Amino acid sequence: MKQIKNDTSLRESIIKTIATIARINEKNIDDSVLIREELGIDSIMSLEIVAQIERHYGIVVDEEETLQIKTVGEFIDYVQSKIINRCHEA
């Protein structure tokens, strides 16, 4: 399980995970981009990304909730909130 040093490294790490799993150039991913419509990430790719992030950060995310998320920025915020909750619970 990795520790998050700051928001920037979390953001970079999540974008790298998305880019690797969905085989998209990192340069085409920013906070405002739509995950499904613009990046073409479907539900099976989303689950692979979520599984990787869960393992990496030791968090548990709700599968249905993540499918409702529209943009990369919203996804990063969502993961960050889960990490903060985990830290508070620890």
Partner 1 sequence: MKINLISPRGSTTGDEVVERIFSDTKDFQGYIESLTKASSSGLLVIASLTPAEHDVRIIDENYDAVDYNDDCDLVGISAMTQQATRAYEIADEFRKRGRTVVMGGIHATVMPEEAKKHCDCVFIGEAEETWPVFLDDFRKGTISDYYRSGKPADMTMLPVPRYDLLNKDNYKVIWLQTSRGCPHDCEFCAASRIYGHSYRHKTVEQVVREINAIQDIWPDARINFADDNLFVNRKYSRELVGRLKELNIRWFAQTDIAIANDVDLLRQMKSAGCTTLLIGFESISEKNLQLINSNGWKLKKASTYADAIRTIQSCGIGIVGAFIIGLDEDTKESLDELAEFIIDNNIFMAQISILTPFPGTRLCDRLMRERRILDRPWSDYTGMQVNIQPRLMGIEELQKGFYKIYQRIYDKDVRVKTLKHFKSIFKTLSCTVENE
Q: Which residues bind partner 1 (CB under 8 A)?
A: 22-25, 28, 36-37, 39-40, 42-45, 47-48, 50-52, 54-55, 63-64, 67-68
We find the least distance from the C-beta atom of residue 78 to partner 1, in angstroms, to be 14
Is the separation of the CB atoms in 83 and 58 below 8 Å? no
Nearer to partner 1, 44 or 90 (CB): 44
CA-nearest of 72, 83, 25 to 49 is: 72
Q: Tell me the H-state helices in 1-90.
A: 7-22, 43-57, 63-68, 72-89
Q: Which is nearer to partner 1, 40 or 84 (CB)?
A: 40
Distance between CA atoms of 15 and 48, rounded to whole angstroms? 14
In whole angstroms, how close is the CB of 24 to partner 1 at the nearest point? 4
* Smallest distance from partner 1 to CB 48, Å: 5
